[in-house]
Structure 1
Amino acid sequence: MSDKVKKFVLIIITACLVLVVGAGSYVWNAATSAFGSIQESLDRSKSEKRLEELNLDEGDPISVLLMGVDELESRDDLGRTDTMILLTINPSVESVNMVSIPRDTLTSIRGQATTDKISHAHALGGRETAIYTVEHFLDIPVDYYVTVNMESFKDTVDAVGGIEVENDQEFTFHEMHYPKGTIKLDGEKALGYSRMRHLDPDDDFGRQERQRQVMEAVMEKGASISSLANFTDILNVVEDNVTTNLSLGELWDIYSTYNAAIDEIEQHQIEGEDITKDGIYYFSPDEEKLEQLSNVLKEHLELEN
């Protein structure tokens, strides 16, 4: 696994701590205030997929669901998830499993008595419906979640002064041209780069890779900035566009206890086939291989199969 991917996952979990510790008490106080405003607890003390509550001090393996949500003002629902990344983190064996869930995956939507694209779960019932759907799709608990408004990509990229990515294919999307090679992106172009799908031969999997590129580049740039104005801008973006059930204290516990796990990351791709149902495209997962993946994740979380 490349050092870039390792750093990406570590920074996703610890970015705010890296920022606030490096900037001093003013930004620490601002971060504490920001976390107070973005924290939204789930309506439960633990997942129904767990027999006992987590103990971070003892280093229990945990799972984190990262969701990038399309929250356009023109939408008349709660927004679909453009990105769903599930992480399981086990500090005892010092490893992470990362699963990217294709947005068009056909599955049962929990609490809605229907099957649909997994990206629609959030639109139908918000974060709790999305989380419960992922839990039952993979048959594992989701302990923590982080949702990010995809529109905030623009503000975040601009807050860190733009980013550079390595583009492996030339394309034009929404009248913005992206040449092959190392390219510089402002916020608007970064959003387009992360959203293009139908021009990519790898379709949704290609888009997931570009989204990871953008998030990684933003976090790396954010972790290295020294301007207080940049810190404040980034925290403002976080406060306006992020929700999580993590407290700042829990984030610190994870940073302190679990960061060694980032030395070993295994990425998993859900296997299946493209299908058309009533004229609508879906990604249909291979049930046997999905069960195998579920068992791998359960073992990593030290749960009984």
Structure 2
Amino acid sequence: MWKKIVFGVALVISIAAGFGVAKVQSTMNTSLNHITRDKDNVLKDVNLDGIHVNSDDKIVNILLIGYDLRKENGKDFGGLTDVMMIATLDKKHNTIKLTSLMRDTLVRIASNNEDMKLNAAYARGGVKNMYKTIAKNFNIKLDGYAMVGFKAFQQVVDKIGGVEAELTESETNYLKDTNYVHGAKNRKKLKVGKQTLNGAQALGYVRIRSDKNRLGVPVKTANGLTDDYGRTWRQRTLMSAIFKKMKTLSLSELIAVANKVFDNVKTDLDNDTILGYIKDVAMMGTTDVCQLQIPMNGYYRDGHQAEFPNSDGWSLVPTNGVSSAYDTSANAAAIKQFVFQYNGKGEFKYKSSSSSSSR
């Protein structure tokens, strides 16, 4: 997502400033070469035989994976992913969309056919298994992936001069009482209300997950969300704010951001493909990002290890919104409607169907 944001805005600014497209493309290629290419995990090569997936030639879906590389001493395989999103470039409706996939969502893992949390898919087969698991449970075709280390997120926020966010009293107190924000000085400067967060503060903010602080007070977002729903809302909201902030930067500033951040990005996409997406984003001329979270409110229930022995504790069990049975069909249908049919105008509302079948 970062590479698309950086270069989409860079292209618009550079053309407006009188730079030649050829020169811009050359500069983009140089920066893109900082990205690690993953030739062993190309999503278009994943065998999806027997799995129905929805797709559209005018809609591009990229899997975004946020990963704390520090957990594995720099190694990026064998751990659990902290952030999973689908970034959609909808050329049919000229919109950019972002779908958060809750990491504790119970799904059928493709590699072992067991019911486990979604973030376990990466540890049990890497990116390809994660894609196959998403396809198996939510019926969506992905066109590539980008893995971004948390270090890159922190760097991009610092490079653009910080990003604005609105912190509630419960969020502020929680961040001051925990070590989510690295550095005592960074924690001390946090306050209630709108403020500009630096990289360390922003990273701590988007990682808040607990639903209560040490005193038992609910940790709520500005719109009243808690736990993982609040966490993914913070992630999507801050990414949208970063996107808008970047359009105020000069070309040289954007390139500086890219050169710094791309050392911490891995993708299966080549330069030509990325540049094509950049041009598409530039032609859209939009900075608004439409958002969806899965599972949706009203279409999940709490699950426990006694019921799902392989879930490693508490999980979010998708339902069809009518019964409490484990059923991913309604959430899969919502993704289809949001990604392929929603035109970006007004609030997205899922239209349920009585024909939704159970697992």
Task: State the shift of 1:13 in Å.
Answer: 3.7
Amino acid at match of 1:18: V
User: In 2 relative to 1, CA 12–137 (structure 1 residues): closer, same or farther, beyond 3 Å?
Assistant: farther
Residue 115 of structure 1 aligns with an amino acid whose one-letter code is: D
Letter in 2 for 1:72: R
Q: Report the equivalent of 2:29.
A: 32
Query: How many Å apart are 1:46 and its aligned residue?
Result: 6.7
Residue identity in the other structure for 1:33: T
Secondary structure of 1:104's aligned partner: coil
The match for 1:245 is 268
Deviations 1:21-59 (A, max 9, x none): 6355777544313324434351644763579997xxxx5
TM-score by length of 2: 0.67
Aligned to 1:172: 174
Once the two structures are TM-superposed, the CA of residue 182 in structure 1 deviates from its matched residue by 0.7
TM-score, length of structure 1 as denominator length? 0.77
1:1-305 matched pairs, under 5 angstroms: 13-19=4-10, 22=13, 28-36=25-33, 37-41=35-39, 42=42, 44-45=44-45, 48=48, 59-74=57-72, 77-94=77-94, 98-169=98-169, 170-173=172-175, 174=179, 176=187, 178-198=190-210, 199=212, 200-201=219-220, 202-226=226-250, 228=252, 230-257=253-280, 260=284, 265=290, 267-270=292-295, 271-278=299-306, 280-287=313-320, 290-298=328-336, 301=340
Contact 1:27–1:231 (CA under 8 A) maintained in structure 2: no
One-letter amino acid of the structure 2 residue matched with residue 245 of structure 1: D
Matched residue count: 289
Provide the identity percentage. Answer: 23
Bigger Rg, which one: 2
Q: CA deviation at 1:70?
A: 2.1
Q: CA deviation at 1:118?
A: 0.9
How far off is 1:206 after superposition?
A: 0.4
Moved more, 235-244 or 43-52: 43-52
RMSD in angstroms over aligned alpha carbons? Answer: 3.5
Change (3 A) 1:217 1:255: same
State the secondary structure of the residue aligned to 2:81: strand
Q: How far apart, CA to CA, are the structure 2 residues paired with 1:140 and 1:301?
A: 10
Point out where structure 1 has 5 or more consecutive residues left out of the alignment.
1-8
Change (3 A) 1:156 1:293: same
